[in-house]
Structure 1
Amino acid sequence: MFQLLWILMIGLVLGLIARLLLRGPQSIPWWLTMLLGAAGAWLGNAVSGWLGVRHTTGIDWTRHLLQLGFAIALVALAAPAWSRSHPRR
């Protein structure tokens, strides 16, 4: 249970950083931001393991940058799709 909370907290942080780094408004709800950030973290971990840089001595900068990059890409793809399917009134 605690691991799920940790994943969601990291997802929220990554999603918020992704939204801050993207230009323009992203009119997606906070829960979608959190889920996209968690998905970006999962994809970044998978790719870093595939590249062989998941576990290194010290801080895993490559893994963290991959996680953030995937979170940015997912938020950038989801924000326009969410805006089209949920227009503001």
Structure 2
Amino acid sequence: MEITGIISALVVGLIIGALGRLVVPGKQAIPIWLTLILGIIAAFVGGAIAAVFTTFWLLVLIVQVLVAAAAVVLAEKLYTRGA
């Protein structure tokens, strides 16, 4: 993967994290930096999952956002339990 591809993936991951946080109802008690990191991870994981089934970009985006939303919910439960 070239450096431009990595930078693009990071930017898309930040957007995916923000969308994932917006999908989850209510106020989340996790910091924004954690949401953004989860979004980057979700972009890679969701992209890999969706790539197995399809190459349709909209479906890939939907899967990435759902993975990010699930990660936000899980992180919130773990983050608030430790506080």
TM-score range, shorter chain: 0.7 to 0.9
- Listed as ranges, the matches of 1:25-40 within 5 Å are 25-40=27-42
State the structure with more CA Rg. Answer: 1
User: How far apart, CA to CA, are the structure 2 residues paired with 1:8 and 1:27?
Assistant: 23
- Paired residues, number: 81
1:45 is matched with which residue: 21, 44, 47? Answer: 47
CA change 1:8–1:50 in 2 (3 A) is same
- Listed as ranges, the matches of 1:49-88 within 5 Å are 49-51=51-53, 53-54=54-55, 56=56, 60-85=57-82, 87=83
Decide which structure has greater helix share.
Answer: 2
Superposition CA RMSD, Å: 1.7
Q: Which AA in structure 2 matches 1:35?
A: I
TM-score, length basis structure 2: 0.81
Aligned identity (percent) is 31
User: How far apart, CA to CA, are the structure 1 residues paired with 2:33 and 2:9?
Assistant: 13
Give unpaired runs (5+ residues) of structure 2.
Answer: none
TM-score, length basis structure 1: 0.77
Aligned-residue offset at 1:4: 4.0
Structure 2 residue aligned with 1:15: 17
Q: Which AA in structure 2 matches 1:65?
A: I
